[in-house]
Each structure stands twice: as C-alpha cells, then as structure tokens.
Amino acid sequence: RWARQDRLGPELFDPARAAEERRRHRLAAAMPAALDRGEFTLHYQPLVRLADGATIGVEALARWPRPGGRPLDPQQFIQVAERTGLIHRLGRTLLEQACRQGAEWRRAGHDLLVSVNLSPVQLSDPGLVAAVADILHRSGLPADRLQLEITETGEALPYRSVLAGLGGLGVRLALDDFGTGYSSLAVLTALPFTEAKLAAELLLGFHESGVLGLIIAACHEMGMTVTAEGIETAEQEQTLRALGCDHGQGYHLGRPAPAGKGRFCSGGDG
Ligand code: C2E
Ligand code: MG
Ligand code: MG
Ligand code: MG
C-alpha cells in the first residue's frame, strides 16, 4: 500500500507539498518590490591562500534579511528568482554591489579578488557580457579582480560562447561545487574555467584516499587553480595544504559576514 502511494506521490494531494508551493508563490510575489527597495544584500566570506593563510579574496553571498521576518536560505530565494526570471535583474544588482565593494576595498589599499555567483539561467541573457563589462567599467574594479562562479546544472555547456565572452573581458571563471551534480572533468575541459571549486562533499568523501590529490593535480595540469569549499577543521586545512590545494574557504577560515567598516582593512583605516 505504501509503495503504491509512493509511486503515485506527486498526483495525490499532499498538504506539505501544497504549503511549500504557496510559500514559494508568496516569495515570488514579494521579491520584485523587495529588490526595488534594496533589501537584497551581500555577505562576504574570505578566500584564503593555504600556503600562507593570506586572505586573497572574498566570495559574495546573497542575503535577504527581510525586515521583521526570518532570514531566508539563499538557495531557496535564488531558485524562486530563477523560476520567475527575476534572477536577471537580481543578479545584475548583486554583481554591481559586489564590484563597488571590491573597488572600495581597493581604494583602501586591499587588493582582493571578488568572487560572485552567477546562476546558469543568467547565461541565457544575450545582454549578459555587455552588462558585466558595463558594471566593471562603472565600478572601477579591474576585470581580473572579478571571478564569476557557476554551478554546472547541465545548462552551461550550450552557453560556451557566453562563457568565452566573459573570459574575453578578462574576468575569471570558476566551476562551483565541482564534484556534485552534473559537474565533471568533461565540463571542466570543454569550458574556459580558470578555477575549480571543490564541493565540501568531496572533502568528506575522499579525505583519506588520495583521490582528492589526484583531482587537484588534474586541475593544475589543466591550468586551473583549485579552491576547497567547506573547510571546517584545522585537520582539513592541513590535509588540503599538503595536497597542494591553492585556496580554501570555510567556517574554520572565516564565516560570511557583512563588508563592515574596516573588514579586511587590518591597516586600521576604518
Ligand atoms: P555556494 O556558491 O557553493 O556558496 C557556499 C555556501 O557554503 C554558502 O552558503 C556558505 O555560507 C556556505 N559555507 C561556507 N563555508 C562553510 C562551511 O565551512 N561549512 C558549511 N556547512 N557551509 C559553508 P549560502 O550563503 O547559504 O549560499 C548557498 C548557495 O546559494 C550558494 O552556494 C550559491 O549556490 C547560492 N547563492 C548564494 N548567493 C548567490 C548569489 O548572489 N547568486 C546566485 N546565483 N547564487 C547564490
Ligand atoms: Mg559559490
Ligand atoms: Mg553554487
Ligand atoms: Mg560552492
């Protein structure tokens, strides 16, 4: 009886699923005005060079604090924005915020790489390359100080020329969450990525096997730098450093936080 219900699952009335759908609709309806009001912000998480512990950049992560409400999981509101198409406008707004912040850090004497997540849906926007060029120009951030992170979902391969266009601007391209979902060595070699970001799941899965070292070596062989995500312990940091992983990111190395006054400005001009 249960097996049969499982098979028919999606067609039966499922109160939990219906509630989730209503919640998504409410979110979708609230997002355009929230974007107009400037409610979407960014937190920045340090990207650390494992060889010497220096902070060489930051990943910009979207936040929607919602006045009077609980903060939402970015994965959820980004997915809703992808479905409604708002991701194009939201993505540009966040990219502009991040580039302005990067330029501001630069003026304060801190040369940081700013790494911004790009939804694969944004790659279908024919104006994307021109928009990125325009945002770079207006913010004053040099193109090679911007990195765009893309999670492969099976949609990026058809947009090879868009990625080539972005690469042509001098922007760096990272394959995000490498080792999960659709991402594969085939994707890495077919597209002009300059960096592979190893998913946290990969760290846990291959911690002792040496396979991780082979993956890092293969990425280096292809001319890419490697960042390990989700480093939560000193032991993981040590292992990855020993394996020659270039950069690391994770709660052990620094949590995402607002740009704040004087953050990454240890010289003390804040
Ligand atoms: P992501 O791009 O892979 O970002 C890394 C996520 O891992 C972030 O979650 C970060 O807070 C979290 N994280 C960092 N260090 C650790 C750690 O040591 N342990 C654990 N467990 N987690 C860690 P966050 O901020 O919730 O973002 C989730 C996802 O939402 C991102 O994954 C990205 O796919 C998407 N996202 C966030 N901001 C944006 C954005 O501006 N645009 C787009 N298109 N997607 C975004
Ligand atoms: Mg990312
Ligand atoms: Mg991602
Ligand atoms: Mg990631």
Eight-class DSSP state of 47 = E
User: Does residue 58 contact residue 44 with C-beta atoms inside 8 Å?
Assistant: yes
User: Does residue 148 contact residue 119 with C-beta atoms inside 8 Å?
Assistant: no
Per-residue model confidence as pLDDT tens digits over 171-203: 999 999 998 776 677 777 888 999 999 998 887
Whole-model pTM: value is: 0.92
Residue 227's DSSP bridge partners are 197, 247
CA–CA gap between residue 39 and residue 1 (Å, rounded): 48
Q: What is the pLDDT of residue 269?
A: 39
Amino acid at 206: F
Tokens at 223, concatenated: 């001319």
Cβ neighbour number for residue 9 with a 10 Å cutoff: 10
Cβ neighbour number for residue 130 with a 10 Å cutoff: 12
CA–CA gap between residue 205 and residue 183 (Å, rounded): 16
Residue 151 pLDDT > 50, yes or no? yes
Cβ neighbourhood burial of 165 (10 Å; 0-12, 13-18, 19+): middle
What's the ipTM?
Answer: 0.98
CA of 135 to the centre of ligand 4 (A): 23
CA of 9 to the centre of ligand 4 (A): 31
| Pocket flag, ligand 1, residue 177 (CB < 6 Å) | yes
Which of 84, 97, 117 for mutating ligand 1's site (highest number of atoms within 8 Å of CB)?
A: 117
Per-residue model confidence as pLDDT tens digits over 6-31: 555 556 778 898 998 999 999 999 99
CA–CA gap between residue 230 and residue 232 (Å, rounded): 6
3-state secondary structure of 202: helix
